[in-house]
Structure formats: C-alpha cells, structure tokens
Structure 1
Amino acid sequence: MRQLATIISNRLIATATMEMKVEIAPQEVAPGTFFHVKTSELLRRPLSVANVEGNVVTFLYKVIGSGTADLAARRTGDVLDVLGPLGNGFPLEQTGKRVVLVGGGIGVPPLYYTRRLLAARGIETVAILGFDTKTSIFYEDAFRELGETIITTVDGTYGEMGFVTGPLARVEADVLFSCGPEPMLKAVAASHIEERYISIENRMGCGIGACFACVCEAPGGYVKVCSDGPVFRAEEVTL
C-alpha cells in the first residue's frame, strides 16, 4: 500500500543511528514487517518497524550510505513516500511459551515492537541485545521495562564482552526470535532453542517480490526476503 507519511521527529540516538517517527494512516502493523521508504535516490530503503502507537510509526536506521544520509537530513513536517507495511512478521501465538529475542545492531528495533506485543499477551520474554561498543547502544531502558534484558558489546565497554551467542547458551526458552547481521543469524539459528525464527536483513529493489533482488538460498531453491520473509523459520533458509 503506497501512502504518504509525515515526519514528527528524526533524531540521533546512538552512533550513526537515527530514530524517525512518522504519522501515517491508522492500520494494523505486524511485528517484523517493514516499510519501503523513498529517498532522493531511485531506489527505496527498507525500514523495519521499531514501534507503533496509534497512527505513529517509529523507524530506526543506521546512516551508512547516501540513501540513509538523505533520510537523516529530513526534518519535522517533511513528507515521505512509503510502501507498506510489507512482508511477513514474527508469529505472536506463543501462549504458555517463553520467548528469547536476540538482536544485533540495527536488527534490534523490530524486536522491541515484537516484545511489547508479546508482553501485552502475557508471554514471558528475555532479550539479548548485541552492539559493537557502548556508544552504539540504544533502547536499553525501553527493553528493560518489558523484562530481563542482557546487553553485550564486542569490545567489552558495556555489559558482557563478546557476542550474543554467549548469554544465549545459558538461556532456557521455547522459542527464539532473532534479527541482525547474517553471521549472527547463522550462529543463533544453530542454537539449542527448539523453535527458531530469524528475520533476514537484505538490500531490496521493489519490496514486493517482483524484481528478485533480495533472494536468499533455501533448501531446494530460493526465497524472496521481501515477500516470503523477512521472517523465516530457521530451517527454511540456508545462511
């Protein structure tokens, strides 16, 4: 669904990490889905949903190229051309189960919205969030308000030193939801948790499954991250 979104705020919250809130037509947004946002360049940028409150949607994005630099320069009142919500998200039907949410870097945002919705259903969760260094951390307090939260940093400047796989090995849970860079996803997909869902980050073209720019290898063929995912059962894809 193509629509216009008005920027309410657009601010720096961590090293090279921006939080953008936009006002959009009220709609149901599943956790783990994304919006395809037009920049000044020809192609759009996929932004995962960090939160939804009424008709206000929050995106978090890392400024790493000209497209996201263009988004970072936008101001309150500017209007964005967006497609969405798109894709398939995390399944919330986890009654009676304990869910561990594992995020790395800019893969953390969709897990916050997911955790809020799980908490509203009375589902117990624990979050493990991995960052490069202390200045890269965001949303720690927001996550802690929803339950047990473990922070790791690669350089040990905050929380546990190392990667998310360290604390994950100690956690007992029935279901795993994860989003982050591919090496991290590959590691958590092989974890001891019985039921595992991973959200794949990938550069996209059309965002609706027509251009085959975001294909991912799968047993027996390929899947399109934008339309078949971005959330998959771990066994559905080959990383």
Structure 2
Amino acid sequence: MIKEEMRIRSNLPIAQHIFEMKLEGNIPEEVNQPGQFLHMKTTNQVTPLLRRPISICSNDKDKGQLTVIYRSGGQGTKCISEKKIGDTIDVLGPLGNGFNIENVNRTDTVVLAGGGIGVPPLYGLGLELKKKGIHVVSVLGFSTASATFYHDKFAELGEVFYCTMDGTEGHKGTVTDVMRRENISFDQLFACGPVPMLKSLEDTFPDAKGALSLEERMGCGIGACFACVCHVQDDPTGKDYRKVCSNGPVFPWREVALR
C-alpha cells in the first residue's frame, strides 16, 4: 500500500452522473489483481472527513497510470468530480484482495456479471482474462440507457448482453433475467454490483464457481475500524465475519452472507 498525491490526467463524464478519471503515479506499479481499490481523499478541507473507496477499472504499469470510474452522488464524490487535469489527489492504494484467476482454465467460458457502478472492476478483470485467451461473456445491468457506459470496451473482450430496468436499452429486467432468458452457460461466474443482484445470482446458480465483489461504505479502508464487516454464511454463532476492505472486497461465492 502506498499513500501518494496522484496526478489527474483526465476526469470526464461518460454517462449520467458517472465519471472516468485517469491517474498517474507510483500506485499502478503495486496493483497485482483486478478488483483492488483506492481510498481517495475528496478535498483538503475538514469536510467531507472520510475518504471514498473507488474500484480500479484498469491499470497500466508501463505508463504508470490507472483508470477509475465512479458515480458522483454525494458531497465527497461531487468534490472528486470537480477535480481538473493537472490537479493532484491524495490516494491510498492499492487496497483489498481482488479477483484471483489462477484457477481459470484456458478452455473455460467466464461470465462477467455487473450492475451499475459495479461494472468497472469487471473490465479490468476481463482484460486479464482476454490476455490468457479465455472466452469472456459480459452481462451488464443498468437502471436506464443514460446510465450505461463502456459499450465498445466490453465488446472488445467478447460477447456482451445489456439490460436496463426500464427497458430503454438492451433487455428489460435484471442481469439474472438475461442469463436465464438467453440460457447463458459458463464454467466460472464473476460478479460485482448491488447486493440484491448478487443474491439473485447466487440463488439462481447455487453451484457457480468464481467470485463476487461487494460494494460497501468504508471508514479506514485498511481493516482497522470494523465499519464494513459482513457475516459469513452458515455461522450458527453469528459472530464470524469478514472485513470487506481487507478480507475482500472479492470473496468466493457462498462465503459471505448476502442481505
């Protein structure tokens, strides 16, 4: 983990309330798995006090640059969206455990299932899978057409299915609806998105191999404050838990309780 003032190379809106930011510094050299995240200080002022966890979308060690995609929804992310090219931003990273693809075989078909702002870390995962020659199918869900992004980039990875809750783009419905309707088969399933989406996938595909990534509010981002704990499944004591920031944010299917 490094704490550094990363240089902003671009910070542009790519969908409704969605921004793509490119950062330059030493942290890209330390990234070792897709799905890791940054903890970003939003301003040099006293408030907002807490950093914001932002998933790494893609990473380029040769250029010393990485890309993040975030939603500008609250005060903190609004401050980040107002940053300009050439500005610096205080960043801790890379943090957390990402997607481990060592057990993915070259002959496997891998489905990337993403929802909303859970889509970005799956793009970096898709890039790594493509490098290994693995067949990738992406199923991406959004609320409405104006919230969709990265169409061309995911198309470069393989076949893509889009869905929106209101039906304004792609299939109408959820990621799980699309996978059932299209009878999409897979050897491994990797997912990131809202908990209801992840729970639906886990219930529908109870034998799935792969992993999921949780989106969670965090305090410290390094496992010290216990603000982002989640319980494990099938724990009769109710006292066994995982920290999303340090044990995760990526977990094997059926390890943590999805509520």
CA distance in structure 2 between the aligned counterparts of 1:120 and 1:167, rounded to whole angstroms: 26
Q: CA deviation at 1:175?
A: 0.7
Q: How does 1:1-239 map to 2 (within 5 A)?
A: 1-25=2-26, 26-29=28-31, 30-40=33-43, 41-53=48-60, 54=62, 55-93=64-102, 94-95=104-105, 96-169=107-180, 170-192=183-205, 194-219=208-233, 220=235, 221-239=240-258
Indicate if the aligned counterparts of 1:189 and 1:198 stay in contact, CA closer than 8 A. Answer: no
CA distance in structure 2 between the aligned counterparts of 1:102 and 1:77, rounded to whole angstroms: 34
CA distance in structure 2 between the aligned counterparts of 1:158 and 1:113, rounded to whole angstroms: 23
Cα RMSD (Å): 1.1
Q: CA deviation at 1:212?
A: 0.1
SS in 2 for 1:235: coil
SS in 2 for 1:190: helix
SS in 2 for 1:228: coil
Number of equivalent positions: 239
Aligned partner of 2:10: which letter?
A: S
Aligned partner of 2:29: which letter?
A: Q
Indicate if the aligned counterparts of 1:189 and 1:196 stay in contact, CA closer than 8 A. Answer: no
CA distance in structure 2 between the aligned counterparts of 1:92 and 1:118, rounded to whole angstroms: 8
CA distance in structure 1 between the aligned counterparts of 2:57 and 2:96, rounded to whole angstroms: 15
Q: State which structure, 1 or 2, has the greater radius of gyration over its C-alpha atoms.
A: 2
% identity of equivalent residues: 49
CA distance in structure 2 between the aligned counterparts of 1:171 and 1:89, rounded to whole angstroms: 25
CA distance in structure 1 between the aligned counterparts of 2:138 and 2:35, rounded to whole angstroms: 15
Indicate if the aligned counterparts of 2:202 and 2:208 stay in contact, CA closer than 8 A. Answer: no
Q: Please, which runs of 5 or more residues in structure 1 have no aligned partner? A: none
SS in 2 for 1:32: coil
Q: CA deviation at 1:196?
A: 3.5
Q: CA deviation at 1:112?
A: 0.4
Q: CA deviation at 1:108?
A: 0.2
Indicate if the aligned counterparts of 1:200 and 1:230 stay in contact, CA closer than 8 A. Answer: yes
CA distance in structure 2 between the aligned counterparts of 1:118 and 1:100, rounded to whole angstroms: 11
Aligned partner of 1:5: which letter?
A: M
Deviates more, 1:93-102 or 1:197-206: 93-102
Aligned partner of 1:119: which letter?
A: K
SS in 2 for 1:27: helix
Indicate if the aligned counterparts of 1:207 and 1:227 stay in contact, CA closer than 8 A. Answer: yes
CA distance in structure 2 between the aligned counterparts of 1:107 and 1:185, rounded to whole angstroms: 11
Q: CA deviation at 1:191?
A: 2.9
CA distance in structure 1 between the aligned counterparts of 2:179 and 2:225, rounded to whole angstroms: 36
Q: CA deviation at 1:190?
A: 2.0
CA distance in structure 2 between the aligned counterparts of 1:28 and 1:210, rounded to whole angstroms: 21
